[in-house]
Amino acid sequence: MTGVAADPRIELTDRIARLREQRKAVILAHNYQLGEVQDIADFVGDSLELSRRAVEVEADTIVFCGVTFMAETAKLLNPERTVLIPDPLAGCPMCEMAPAEAVRKRKAELPGVPVVAYVNTTAAVKAEADICCTSANAVEVVESLPDRRLLFLPDKNLGHWVQRHTSKEIILWEGHCPTHQRIMTQDVMRLKARHPKAAVMVHPECTPEVIDLADQVLSTGGMIRWARRADADEIIVGTEVGLIHRLKKENPDKTFHPISMLSTCPNMKRITLEKVAWALEDEQYPIEVPEEIAARARRAIERMLETI
Ligand code: 13P
Ligand code: SF4
């Protein structure tokens, strides 16, 4: 027997690094990705930050570690580049709650009412929207429109949060995030009782009852920034548990308590290091959006990026 067996995880990350260089690729990862995927990414962020980064990259190929609507957004903004998602089944159930046909039907019932589409929608639904928004800019996007009434879809919780911050009339859609729905008020209260000095930050996809118990309501990128500058040494966190990896890594002196370990997004967790390596090796799975949809969907995303 000679030598020590190599660590297979290190071999895998080395392989990804080699392939990334050969393919002139950039790896973008959402804040909910597995820790080891975040750690090999060139950039980690929230939906808005990733959309902005997707327009700035100079690479030939973008490997998008997130869910399909995020990779689709990157493709819409980069029609000339190859955008790969390592697992094409990494969908977002909230997107499925607003099928394009149902959105067209609702629009017909509301003539003249503009549609604000959360980026958690398919390209076909973005094509029906006047403008997109993310959890980081939803209130500002709504305020930027001249209209007094608008249809907000698909997340009723984010829409409800926006309604609290605008005098406009927000017509809600019956969609939600199953992962954030698992964050319960009794879990927040139990943690607050156990850690009375801790601050509470939650994502606006949480229910209004959970939001009522929070000190801060922020996008995942907003939580990263707030945790960095907050005076609190202990923070109770109400969002998908993947965010805890980055919070701990960037704030080793602070303690983070996830409200619920059940709030995990199975679709985000479909992306593994192995699949990232295979994506680079075999150029799989390329995102394609039919041009007649892409042109209209792109307009709604670009309008958001130009506005906020
Ligand atoms: P962020 O844009 O805040 O990262 O949220 C994306 C998402 O899917 C939340 O569930
Ligand atoms: Fe969709 Fe919720 Fe997963 Fe975000 S956490 S990708 S909204 S299912």
Residue type, 145: L
Write the residue with the smallest CA distance to atom 1 of ligand 1: 46
Q: How far is residue 205's CA from residue 161's CA, in Å, rounded to a whole number?
A: 9
Q: Which residue from 97, 157, 206, 240 has its CB within 8 A of the most atoms of ligand 2, so it is best to mutate?
A: 240
Q: Whose CA is nearest to atom 3 of ligand 1?
A: 219
**Sorting pLDDT into bands at 50, 70 and 90, what band is 3?**
low
| CA 212 to ligand 1 centroid distance, Å | 19
Centroid of ligand 2 to alpha carbon of 221 (angstroms): 15
- Centre a 10 Å sphere on the Cβ of residue 4 and count the other Cβ atoms it contains: 6
Q: Is pLDDT above 60 for 1? A: no
Residue of minimum CA distance from atom 6 in ligand 2: 92
How much is the mean pLDDT over the chain? 97
Q: Whose CA is nearest to atom 3 of ligand 2?
A: 265
Q: What is the per-residue pLDDT across 167-224, written as a single tens digit (0 to 9) for each?
A: 999 999 999 999 999 999 999 999 999 999 999 999 999 999 999 999 999 999 999 9
Cβ partners under 8 Å of residue 95, min gap 6: 68, 69, 120, 121, 122, 125, 154
* pLDDT tens figures, 235-277: 999 999 999 999 999 999 999 999 999 999 999 999 999 999 9
Query: Which residues, 6 or more positions from 147, have their beta carbon under 8 angstroms from its beta carbon?
Result: 113, 114, 168
276 token code pair: 């990232």
Residue 47 in contact with ligand 1 by CB distance below 6 A: yes
Q: Give the residue from 211, 144, 150 showing the smallest Cα distance to 180.
A: 211
Q: Is 158 in the pocket of ligand 2 (CB under 6 A)?
A: no
For residue 300, report the distance from its CA to the centre of ligand 1, in Å.
Answer: 18
Mean pLDDT of 97-114: 98
- 94 C-alpha to ligand 2 centroid (Å): 7
Specify the DSSP class assigned to residue 175. B
Residue 68: CB within 6 Å of ligand 2? no
Closest by Cα among 268, 221, 266 to 67? 268
The residue type of 72 is: E
Tokens linked to 270:
């479909």
Probe ligand 1: pick from 72, 120, 141, 247, max atoms within 8 Å of CB?
A: 120
Ligand 2 proximity of 94 Cβ (cutoff 6 Å): yes
Q: Which tokens is 61 given?
A: 């190929």
pTM equals 0.96
Backbone angles phi, psi at 42, to 5 degrees: -80, -30
Q: What is the pLDDT of residue 240?
A: 98
Mutual angle of helices 47-56 and 68-77, in 10-degree steps: 30
Q: Three-class SS of residue 289?
A: coil
- How far apart CA 219 and CA 246 sit, in angstroms, is 14
Alpha-carbon span 47 to 141, nearest angstrom: 15
Distance 6 CA to ligand 1 centre (A): 37
Ligand whose nearest atom lies closest to the CA of 201: 1
Q: pLDDT value at position 171? A: 98
Query: Which atom of ligand 1 is least distant from the CA of 48?
Result: 2
| Residues 6+ away with beta carbon under 8 Å from 146 | none
Ligand approaching nearest to the C-alpha of 264: 2
Ligand nearest to the CA of 29: 1
Segment 116-124 mean pLDDT? 98
Query: Which ligand 2 atom sits closest to the C-alpha of 32?
Result: 5
pLDDT of the residue at 8: 87
Region label for 92, one of left (φ > 0), alpha (ψ between -120 and 50) or beta (otherwise) = beta
Give the model's pLDDT for residue 2. 56
Query: What is the dihedral angle through the alpha carbons of 96, 301, 221, 147, rounded to the nearest 10 degrees?
Result: -90
Q: Which of 55, 175, 93, 230 is nearest to 43 (CA)?
A: 55
How do 169-171 and 149-153 pair as beta strands? parallel
One-letter amino acid at 148 equals R
Average pLDDT for residues 48-61, to the nearest whole number?
Answer: 93
Sequence length of the chain is: 308
Is 155's C-beta closer than 6 angstroms to any atom of ligand 2? no
Specify the amino acid at residue 160: H
